[in-house]
Chain A
Amino acid sequence: MSKTESKKRTPFVHIVKRDPASLTWYHKLLVRGVAIVAALLVCGVLITLLTGKNPIEVYGSMIDGVFGSSRRVWNMLQGVAMLLCVSLAVTPAFKMKFWNIGAEGQVLISGLACVATMMFLGDKMPLWLLLTVMTVVSILSGMIWALLPAVFKAYWNTNETLFTLMMNYVATQLVAYFLKVFVKDGSGVLSPMDQYGLPVIGGQAYLLNIILVALITVVVYIYLKYSKQGYEISVVGESENTARYIGINVKKVIIRTMLVSGAICGIAGLLLVGGTNHTISTTTVGGRGFTAIMVSWLAKFNPLYMILTSALVIFLEKGAQQVSTDFRISSSISDIVTGIILLFIIGCEFFLQYRVVIRKNRKENA
């Protein structure tokens, strides 16, 4: 390497970690706001280039798709509630650094248990008893689906990510099998058993779900922050060695936490099947088990922030659907828009933690 040319070889950009205390809340808000505006601009350009539509109209249709009518608002709230419920379910496990990506299966299997209860016991007992049995059975099956990987992790240190992922497929196939065998007409589509659904309150089909999920949010928040068990979860998640040092039984905490996680998944399954759909298909959960992971992470595992992050995800999803119908453009365009906006929102976290320094004149730099 020649030494004469080396003088100018200061790296053009380098990245410097920020001091976490140096950012005030309005800075953070500003960075995130800029990210959203930038995302909307980029999407706008893209929409114009690819489809020739006016981006402002597209955004207008997005908002219309979410807030346009009271039915749409209820739909949105229901969407937020269900996604939030699954996100709350994965959060205790994630806080423990147990990468439970099996919420999809845990919700689905409890939905299956719920639907089976409705189908086989529906006409054999009074409604109040049926609803109780549905609740118990749903929660128990969610717990069992979560317990298996937890036990294997605790005692044989198996990889929970793979294990929970595989359990998803088992659940999906069980549902497919169930529909094949027990749907008499052979269509594989089970018609809704509306007569056995959870009670409708206030004349709104989704109100019960929304209230219950709001309640669970508060409970999970308190559980994680103020209970001894929540404290143990944090310690195990941060450092198993510390947990050992203070005599926490790590196996027990892993299993207990996954049971909690599975139980909330069970409630999600109950609400989806018993509360809303009154039937089941292999796509009843619709990827919420995976989206929930993102919601939980984006909120940094804080249940209260999760209300915001799940609302954001649902807003994008519902808005994008509306855009596809209004403009008769392929739904892939709306997926692209959703993807870009999320990328910007997640990407701006980088700028909250690091500063990018661009090469300057040496004198200025000093």
Chain B
Amino acid sequence: MEKPIALACRGITKTFGRVVANRNCDLTVYKGEILAILGENGSGKTTLMNMVAGIYFPDAGQIFVNGEEAVIASPKDAFAYKIGMIHQHFKLVDVFTACENIALGVEDEGRFRLSDVRKKVIEITQRYGFIIDPDKRVADMSVSEKQTVEILKVLYRGADILILDEPTAVLTPQETEKLFAVLRRMREDGKSIIIITHKMHEVLSISDRVAVLRRGENAGTVNTADTNAADLTEMMMGQKVELNIERSEPKNPTERLKVSNLSAVNEEGRPVLTDISFTAYSGEILGIAGIAGSGQRELLEAIAGLQSVQEGSIEYQDPKTGKLEDLRDKNPIQIRDLGVRLSFVPEDRLGMGLVGNMDIVDNMMLRSYQKGQGFFLHRKEPRDLAQTIIEDLQVVTPGASTPVRQLSGGNVQKVLVGREIAAAPTVLMAAYPVRGLDVNASYTIYNLLNRQKENGVAVIFVGEDLDVLMELCDRILVVNAGRVTGTVDGRTAKKDEIGLLMTKSHENVAGEGEQ
């Protein structure tokens, strides 16, 4: 079945300084198909699409829309060619309703009437089966509703080519299914949909064809029906990769960290953690699953002594003496001075875990610079540590004195995780440690966590990819809106079951403003 070509990129090249984002990249999208763009991080997926959407301008190459060469120098040009992109980070005005946001920036002929906009929005929603209240304010919306508004915004402007940049990263499995249903209906309607993702199973379930990018080049485009996860991964990596995470049985687990009835509020006084209780054992990986922003960050920060706590206790049991220490209301230095070896890989690597403008050596000292007598810094130990980490974890860097900001995402994370593990922790907390990492780097991190687990460390792993959580973790704690909604066994749990827990509202909560 030969369909007309909607969009074609020919020989697109884009560089940022020394970094080549796309090199001589070709891509073809037909009318009425869903094309998945698959690639590791830094393989140039988003950059390529940004050029189609008019955010960047290619250094070289041509873009054809419906067979005609197009020069797309701005998002406005892109819309003129009926191309719309839904970015990973939403660009909505919080105090406006869905309709108002959709109407924003559209320059229609004639008088502007919000009621006309509303009519048109409702028509679009019915046509594709969106579920949204057009008069709801964005501030009151869930993440998936906001995403719906972004998609509507693009459709409202009459886009025939839709680009979605990792749309499922913020969705639960159930919401993802709904989104996919909508996308399929759009495909039936003759629209071309490009979906950027790195989740293999989604690629296989939604797309008609898959374009694989590797190091900025198109490594091949295949029909989804003719391929499988292993082949796609091989195309992505350029080599065969073993995609199994080893999971050993926990060895004589003992209680290491016991959190009881923990409650905390944020700076505005809204509750972010409510009555959280759980225990982390030595020699096991405890996963924490939940929609982004359900209190995962606050929970880890509360344990690490960065988030003030209103109620509850955080008890740490010393593995040698068996002594119990209460970590509540202690800052990171006090916790360390108690002899608690608590390592923490925060979500925001360059904004919290590391200092981007400092070199690897100076970043190694972040947690330990106060060690040693006197007024001056001791850089010898961190310098040695930096060398060890660069060698052991194969960090790709010009040297130990390179600012970490200049490293790629995976190497930044190796530096951070390496440092935290080098502190020989007894509790290791990691928040989204593989976010934005390519397959190879992700597996390096999983292996590092597993090795820590085998060494008897209590590992707490906050993740977003349920498949990974279910493969890696011994137990999974599910949170929603700052509450624990359930704990499941990582070996036997079903994805649907976790998905339901992720959205389950607590019986006692009578309208927190969130649904």
- The reply to whether A231 and B352 contact each other, CB–CB distance below 8 Å, is no
Complex alpha-carbon distance, A241 and B351, angstroms: 7
Q: Using Cβ atoms and an 8 Å threshold, which residues of chain B touch A234?
A: 355, 358, 362
Q: Which of B73, B333, B346 contacts A247 (CB 8 A)?
A: B333
Complex alpha-carbon distance, A244 and B362, angstroms: 17
A358: Cβ under 8 A from any B Cβ: no
B512: Cβ under 8 A from any A Cβ: no
- The reply to whether A3 and B353 contact each other, CB–CB distance below 8 Å, is no
The interface size of chain B toward A, counting residues with CB under 8 Å, comes to 49
Binds A, one of B63-71, B170-178, B218-226, B453-461: B63-71
Q: Using Cβ atoms and an 8 Å threshold, which residues of chain B touch A18?
A: 17
* Contact A231 to B69, CB < 8 A, known contacts A245-B332, A247-B332: no
Q: Using Cβ atoms and an 8 Å threshold, which residues of chain A touch B70?
A: 3, 6
- The reply to whether A9 and B60 contact each other, CB–CB distance below 8 Å, is no
In chain B, residues 155-177, which have Cβ atoms closer than 8 Å to a Cβ of chain A?
A: none
A246: Cβ under 8 A from any B Cβ: yes
Complex alpha-carbon distance, A45 and B152, angstroms: 58
A283: Cβ under 8 A from any B Cβ: no
Q: Which of B344, B353, B369 contacts A228 (CB 8 A)?
A: B369
Nearest-Cβ distance from residue B274 to partner chain A, whole angstroms? 23
Q: Using Cβ atoms and an 8 Å threshold, which residues of chain B touch A231?
A: 362, 365, 369, 377
A19: Cβ under 8 A from any B Cβ: yes
B123: Cβ under 8 A from any A Cβ: no
B187: Cβ under 8 A from any A Cβ: no
Complex alpha-carbon distance, A14 and B377, angstroms: 44
Complex alpha-carbon distance, A7 and B77, angstroms: 12
- The reply to whether A239 and B60 contact each other, CB–CB distance below 8 Å, is no
Nearest-Cβ distance from residue A61 to partner chain B, whole angstroms? 43
B331: Cβ under 8 A from any A Cβ: yes
Q: Using Cβ atoms and an 8 Å threshold, which residues of chain B touch A227?
A: 375-377
Q: Which of B80, B332, B336, B351 contacts A239 (CB 8 A)?
A: B351
- The reply to whether A21 and B332 contact each other, CB–CB distance below 8 Å, is no
- The reply to whether B355 and A238 contact each other, CB–CB distance below 8 Å, is yes
Q: Using Cβ atoms and an 8 Å threshold, which residues of chain B touch A1?
A: 77, 80
B59: Cβ under 8 A from any A Cβ: yes
- The reply to whether A7 and B376 contact each other, CB–CB distance below 8 Å, is no
B436: Cβ under 8 A from any A Cβ: no
Nearest-Cβ distance from residue B505 to partner chain A, whole angstroms? 31
A184: Cβ under 8 A from any B Cβ: no
Interface centre among A8, A226, A247 (most CB of B within 10 A): A247
- The reply to whether A245 and B353 contact each other, CB–CB distance below 8 Å, is yes
- The reply to whether A239 and B73 contact each other, CB–CB distance below 8 Å, is no
Q: Who on chain B is nearest to A10 by CB?
A: B71
Complex alpha-carbon distance, A54 and B332, angstroms: 67
A132: Cβ under 8 A from any B Cβ: no
- The reply to whether A242 and B16 contact each other, CB–CB distance below 8 Å, is no
- The reply to whether A16 and B15 contact each other, CB–CB distance below 8 Å, is yes
* Contact A239 to B352, CB < 8 A, known contacts A228-B370, A228-B376, A231-B377: yes
A-B contact count, CB below 8 Å? 101
Q: Kindly supply a per-residue 1/0 record for chain B positions 38-82, scoring 1 wherever the CB is within 8 Å of any chain A CB and 0 otherwise.
A: 000000000000000000010111000000111101000100100
Q: Kindly supply a per-residue 1/0 record for chain B positions 396-436, scoring 1 wherever the CB is within 8 Å of any chain A CB and 0 otherwise.
A: 00100000001000000000000000000000000000000
- The reply to whether A366 and B362 contact each other, CB–CB distance below 8 Å, is no
In chain B, residues 437-470, which have Cβ atoms closer than 8 Å to a Cβ of chain A?
A: none
Q: Using Cβ atoms and an 8 Å threshold, which residues of chain A touch B370?
A: 228
Q: Which of A10, A229, A235 contacts B366 (CB 8 A)?
A: A235
- The reply to whether B71 and A6 contact each other, CB–CB distance below 8 Å, is yes
Q: Who on chain A is nearest to B17 by CB?
A: A19
Q: Using Cβ atoms and an 8 Å threshold, which residues of chain B touch A229?
A: 375
- The reply to whether A16 and B16 contact each other, CB–CB distance below 8 Å, is yes
- The reply to whether A245 and B369 contact each other, CB–CB distance below 8 Å, is no
Q: Using Cβ atoms and an 8 Å threshold, which residues of chain B touch A17?
A: 16-17
Interface centre among A22, A238, A245 (most CB of B within 10 A): A245
- The reply to whether A365 and B59 contact each other, CB–CB distance below 8 Å, is yes
B357: Cβ under 8 A from any A Cβ: yes
In chain A, residues 219-243, which have Cβ atoms closer than 8 Å to a Cβ of chain B?
A: 226-231, 234-235, 238-239, 241-242
Q: Which of A14, A22, A235 contacts B57 (CB 8 A)?
A: A14
Q: Who on chain A is nearest to B344 by CB?
A: A245
Q: Using Cβ atoms and an 8 Å threshold, which residues of chain A touch B93?
A: none
B1: Cβ under 8 A from any A Cβ: no
Q: Kindly supply a per-residue 1/0 record for chain A positions 111-131, scoring 1 wherever the CB is within 8 Å of any chain B CB and 0 otherwise.
A: 000000000000000000000
A11: Cβ under 8 A from any B Cβ: yes
28 A-B residue contacts at CB 8 Å? A3-B70, A10-B71, A16-B15, A16-B16, A19-B19, A20-B17, A20-B406, A22-B17, A22-B18, A226-B377, A227-B377, A228-B376, A228-B377, A235-B355, A239-B350, A239-B356, A241-B351, A242-B352, A242-B355, A244-B306, A245-B304, A245-B306, A245-B353, A246-B332, A247-B331, A247-B333, A247-B334, A366-B61
The 7 closest A-B pairs by CB, nearest first: A19-B17, A19-B18, A247-B332, A247-B333, A241-B352, A238-B355, A366-B60
